[in-house]
Amino acid sequence: MTPDPQGIPAVDLVRLKVIEGLRERSANHRLTSLRAEERLEAQRRAAGPSNKPRRPRRRSLFQVPALDEVAIVAQAVRDFKAGRLLLYVDGERIADPESVVDVGPMTRIRLVRLLTLSG
């Protein structure tokens, strides 16, 4: 992404950061699933041949839950506008959803979700 000389709206930064987080989480789930399957397969091979009939192998033992990215991003934008999701750009809090933020290749963006504590 080439930085816009006029900046990026704060709401768009929230959208981008949430999508990045969802895709990163999904990739981690897939890798974890593949590693678990590889370990199970190695254990099966190490145990030697079995006299039990084998079940047909499913494609994946561990299914990654499907995510509704559009709904999750929309909820994050609503939370940001309501003040329940905080946006920090290079350590500075951006509170106005309509503000335009200058970003570059080394800009650090962080989202903090505020949760209600029940006591």
Query: What is the residue range of 24's domain?
Result: 11-49+63-111
Distance CA 29, CA 63 (A): 9
| pLDDT of amino acid 30 | 76
**Angle, in degrees to the nearest 10, between helices 69-82 and 10-47:** 140
Residue 36 lies in a domain: yes
Residue 116 lies in a domain: no
What's the domain count of the chain?
1
| pLDDT of amino acid 40 | 78
Residue 2 lies in a domain: no
Residue 3 lies in a domain: no
110 is written with which tokens?
């962080």
The fraction of the chain above a pLDDT of 90, given in percent, is: 39
Q: What is the mean pLDDT of residues 91-113?
A: 92
The residue that leads in pLDDT, 38 or 52, is: 38
Helices (H), the chain: 10-47, 69-82
Model pLDDT for residues 49-89, shown as the tens digit of each residue: 765 656 655 555 455 556 688 889 999 999 999 999 999 99
pLDDT over 60 (residue 2): no
Distance CA 50, CA 53 (A): 8
Q: Is the pTM of the predicted complex or chain greater than 0.85?
A: no
Residue 117 lies in a domain: no
Residue 68 lies in a domain: yes
Residue 32 lies in a domain: yes
Residue 97 lies in a domain: yes
